[in-house]
Structure 1
Amino acid sequence: MNQNNIKTKKISRVCFLNPHGYMMYPPPLGKTDTGGQTLYVLQLARALGKKGIKVDIITRQFENLPAEEKLWENVKIIRIPCGGSQFIPKEKIYESMPEFVANLLHHIEKTRKKYDLIHSHYWDGGYAGIMLSKMLKIPHVHTPHSLGKLKKLEMSIEEIPPQKLKRVYRFHVRNAIEQKIMNNANAVVVICETSRIQILQHYSIDFEKLHVIFPGVDLDFFNTKKNDNDKKIKFAKNAVLTVSRLVPAKGVDRVIDALALIKNKVNFHLYIGGGTQEANKSDEEKMTQEQLKNLVKKHRLENRVTFLGFVPHDKVLPSFYRQADIFILASRYEPFGLTTLEAMACGTTPIVSRVAGSREVIIDGLNGFIFDTHDRKALAELVLKLLTDQKLRKKVAENAAFTIKEHYSWNKIVEKFINLYKSLL
């Protein structure tokens, strides 16, 4: 479309569809079905709101959560009842989407709201988006966040019984609905080039529909400027930080194994952040945490490893990044990894697994480092190199912060979404 035509078009109000999880601010990260996607949706909505575009984040109402909640200027959460009053896991919520859409349509008619377009998230949101787009006759943009066919492949490699894959994860339903979304959405936005290639390999879709728009970072929170929180946090010298949910896919065990290889060569202290607040921990998280603590004991690293537990995202996490000398993302499977960009924005040198989508923002050796997620020795050597070469570490950290400030702030990324939205009107 002609750029002049795009400039003259105006986006007034966008409908975000994110039915599952605990959508609220601040998000209870780590709680069931509430993680990086929730954060992404909230941050994109806030960035659009700052540009004068009204965003209604439509999610499911349950557990007596309020029907409506204003978050920031131009941004609201609207909760639509469906499927009863209890929490429904994301694998099963698709069954309630027809009721969700019917009740949402009633809300739209009652409030006389007029949306310019729909932006759906994950396959439950995409399923609702197909129905709503046809009924309202407005464009539909979809962001998958993860892909059923790849998730099934990953779990099959881990030798999870096929019966469990079908019963618990409903891949036979998810994969069919995801293909339907690819067929019907006007545009599909993926968060890195790797995701675009994966969709083209595993789904049938017009190439022109696919758009790569990287996530952004909120520089109001994640930056190199120290604040009062930094003064309260005292990390040891040569601090290594990893932040994630405590589940096997995040590869924290590999970080511990790697550091054990250099424990007699350099002084260091590993800080393991993330996880859910104790009352909300899943069985998987409890088991993983216990396994990690046993691994620390096995390597006799008790005095050199600290489990930080749940870390409040906007207030405390930036200070943790700034206090650390190195940040490691060692995931076995990671569609993107927003923590990489956050750490870079705070001036922390990142070491990132080759499987993570966020590796695409790194020029190896210039603004960070990339390693083979299976190669503990290579990871150990990288950490040793950085902890013994302060000049190199400082230069890479400066380049990392510059990269995010220049190219990946939400203030800049959001313009790409606005241009895409306008091109569909």
Structure 2
Amino acid sequence: MNILITQENYYPLHHGGTMQFIIGMAEYLKLKGYKVFVYTCSYRESNLFGEVERPEATVNYSDFMVGSMSDPFAVTKYISEFVKYIREKKIDLVFANNHNSLAWIKASKKAGVPVVYGCHGVGLMDPLKRRFLMPNDELCYGFPSIKEASRWFWMENRSLMKKLLGFLLFFSPFIRSTKVRNYWQYKEAVAILNSADARYGNSAITAKLFSNKKNTFGFPLAINASNQMMSNHYYPLVDDDFLKKFNLKNKSYILCPGRLNYIKGQEYMIKALLSIKNKNLKLVFTGNAALFGDKFEQMSAYENRIRDLTKEYNLSDRIVFTGLLDFGDMRKIYSSALVTVIPSVWLETFGYVTIESMACGTSAIVTSNCGSAECVSREDGFIIDRKNEKQISDIINDNESRFVDLGERARKKVLDNYDWSVSGDKYLDIFTKVYSERKSVKVYSN
């Protein structure tokens, strides 16, 4: 069977959680004997365009995918090109991930090929473009009704004139650009996602976002915690020389990974640090303000706020900003942390950093609004309410001596439940089910 995976960003330039999952998927499918194709954005400034043979797949770095993350609706104008590619490569099944999926679901249907949508976020379901975190701090769990959307729209802190103009644009049936928020455009997008032959959500929370429950699946993303022959192998690795670069010692700091953005809630970790009894514990922030690794110096307003809080609370000697770290260094920073805290405040459909940390032998404290909270229990970590610095500090104060043991249990849980060797067949089961259900439709095969 020829399987095509589509994804906006891909190796070797990007290494986020979704990209790690996608390359892991490609490697796993190849190990199982499938022919794998990946269709992604071109990077002409890095001389990455056209078809490239990589160890895990035949990768097409295409100009047609450029901009699909920022404007997924615009990419639909290339549907005919995508249909041509499906037929040329004799694709049997398409696994479409993230924002480009609107175009690829339509293209797959035109080509008569089954398609599975892989959902890793709420971007295509959120007409207010607020990541389902509303002005009154409510979380939205699914595409909002007109009444809900109108109520939240009017709560936004804008002038009356801007609200009136924005409201007219928001409910106009003629808008077809993500540069303008529009209810009907996103309603159409949700209908397209629900029309895929199957939907895979990266957590139980994600699966609940879909109105079409038939062939909708939700379970945690797989991770490589056991196979040194696969990419992104997560395992405990203490490197004292690496730690010295940041004046750190093994198990002497709390790790808070992820880009510095208000949706990630880093300010609550800083506030929690004030109440942690062990004043020798440091707090380490990894990442920067950008989603895909712009220069660390290009700070956002929230990153400035985090740094200002550090100074305001006189914590400059206890808080470390590492900037963006590559995969190898992230494995080291996870491994030596006492505990990892994920204090997200938005509807985080998963949060790959949770199982990355667990795979490296470090337990996690994660907010309940994260999909990855389903990977954590009191036997190996802690689940807390969002925006609650007291819960963070209380847990660390009460369990500092237990974190090493909890970390060992966390790694065992990952090996037993989320490693590709264990959970990989779950994805194959979805693909096989969808493919067999479409046997009556002509598809291309080897």
TM-score tier (shorter): 0.7 to 0.9
SS in 2 for 1:72: coil
Q: Percent of pairs identical after alignment?
A: 22
Does the CA contact (< 8 Å) of 2:265 and 2:344 recur in 1?
yes
Cα gap change, 1:271/1:283 in structure 2, threshold over 3 Å: closer, same or farther? Answer: closer
Does the CA contact (< 8 Å) of 2:105 and 2:117 recur in 1?
no
Per-residue deviation, residues 274-316 of structure 1 (Å, max 9, x unmatched): 1268982499843222211110111111111110001102x11
| In structure 1, C-alpha distance between the alignment counterparts of 2:319 and 2:283, rounded to whole Å | 5
Report the CA distance between 1:321 and its aligned residue.
Answer: 0.7
Cα gap change, 1:359/1:180 in structure 2, threshold over 3 Å: closer, same or farther? Answer: same
Does the CA contact (< 8 Å) of 1:230 and 1:323 recur in 2?
no
Amino acid at match of 1:307: F
Mapping 1:291-370, distance limit 5 Å? 291-313=305-327, 315-333=328-346, 334-363=348-377, 365-370=378-383
Amino acid at match of 2:414: I
SS in 1 for 2:44: coil
Indicate whether 1:211 and 2:217 are aligned: yes
| In structure 2, C-alpha distance between the alignment counterparts of 1:355 and 1:279, rounded to whole Å | 25
Indicate whether 1:103 and 2:116 are aligned: no
| In structure 1, C-alpha distance between the alignment counterparts of 2:332 and 2:180, rounded to whole Å | 37
Indicate whether 1:399 and 2:409 are aligned: yes
* Residue 115 (structure 1) aligns with: 91
Stretches of structure 1 lacking an aligned partner (at least 5 in a row): 1-11, 30-34
Indicate whether 1:94 and 2:73 are aligned: yes
Indicate whether 1:14 and 2:26 are aligned: no
Indicate whether 1:133 and 2:143 are aligned: no
Cα gap change, 1:242/1:379 in structure 2, threshold over 3 Å: closer, same or farther? Answer: same
* Residue 189 (structure 2) aligns with: 178
Report the CA distance between 1:154 and its aligned residue.
Answer: 1.6
Per-residue deviation, residues 84-125 of structure 1 (Å, max 9, x unmatched): xxx5262424223222x222334455xx42111111112x33
Report the CA distance between 1:41 and its aligned residue.
Answer: 2.1
* Residue 30 (structure 2) aligns with: 49
* Residue 52 (structure 2) aligns with: 69
Does the CA contact (< 8 Å) of 2:368 and 2:383 recur in 1?
yes
Amino acid at match of 2:3: V
- Aligned counterpart in structure 2 of residue 82 of structure 1, from 64, 89, 104: 64
Stretches of structure 2 lacking an aligned partner (at least 5 in a row): 138-155, 171-177, 436-446
User: Number of residues paired by the alignment?
Assistant: 386
Cα gap change, 1:366/1:170 in structure 2, threshold over 3 Å: closer, same or farther? Answer: same
| In structure 2, C-alpha distance between the alignment counterparts of 1:77 and 1:69, rounded to whole Å | 5
Report the CA distance between 1:249 and its aligned residue.
Answer: 0.6
Cα gap change, 1:127/1:265 in structure 2, threshold over 3 Å: closer, same or farther? Answer: closer
Report the CA distance between 1:373 and its aligned residue.
Answer: 1.4
Cα gap change, 1:181/1:327 in structure 2, threshold over 3 Å: closer, same or farther? Answer: same
Does the CA contact (< 8 Å) of 2:236 and 2:359 recur in 1?
no
Report the CA distance between 1:395 and its aligned residue.
Answer: 2.0
Does the CA contact (< 8 Å) of 1:13 and 1:114 recur in 2?
yes
Amino acid at match of 2:11: M
Per-residue deviation, residues 127-167 of structure 1 (Å, max 9, x unmatched): 12232222221111011222244554424446365639956
Cα gap change, 1:248/1:305 in structure 2, threshold over 3 Å: closer, same or farther? Answer: same
Report the CA distance between 1:169 and its aligned residue.
Answer: 6.0
Indicate whether 1:423 and 2:433 are aligned: yes
| In structure 1, C-alpha distance between the alignment counterparts of 2:340 and 2:293, rounded to whole Å | 27
Does the CA contact (< 8 Å) of 2:254 and 2:337 recur in 1?
yes
| In structure 1, C-alpha distance between the alignment counterparts of 2:361 and 2:214, rounded to whole Å | 36
Normalising by structure 1, we get a TM-score of 0.82
| In structure 1, C-alpha distance between the alignment counterparts of 2:89 and 2:11, rounded to whole Å | 22
Amino acid at match of 1:178: A
Cα gap change, 1:193/1:267 in structure 2, threshold over 3 Å: closer, same or farther? Answer: same
Amino acid at match of 2:60: I
Report the CA distance between 1:417 and its aligned residue.
Answer: 0.9
Does the CA contact (< 8 Å) of 1:354 and 1:371 recur in 2?
yes
Does the CA contact (< 8 Å) of 2:125 and 2:189 recur in 1?
no
Cα gap change, 1:255/1:274 in structure 2, threshold over 3 Å: closer, same or farther? Answer: same
| In structure 2, C-alpha distance between the alignment counterparts of 1:304 and 1:292, rounded to whole Å | 13
Per-residue deviation, residues 178-228 of structure 1 (Å, max 9, x unmatched): 3222442111111111222232xxxx31x222112320111244444436x
Cα gap change, 1:415/1:26 in structure 2, threshold over 3 Å: closer, same or farther? Answer: farther
Does the CA contact (< 8 Å) of 1:247 and 1:285 recur in 2?
no
| In structure 2, C-alpha distance between the alignment counterparts of 1:63 and 1:173, rounded to whole Å | 35
| In structure 2, C-alpha distance between the alignment counterparts of 1:225 and 1:251, rounded to whole Å | 26
Does the CA contact (< 8 Å) of 2:284 and 2:322 recur in 1?
yes
Indicate whether 1:412 and 2:422 are aligned: yes
Where is the helix percentage greater, Structure 1 or Structure 2?
Answer: 1
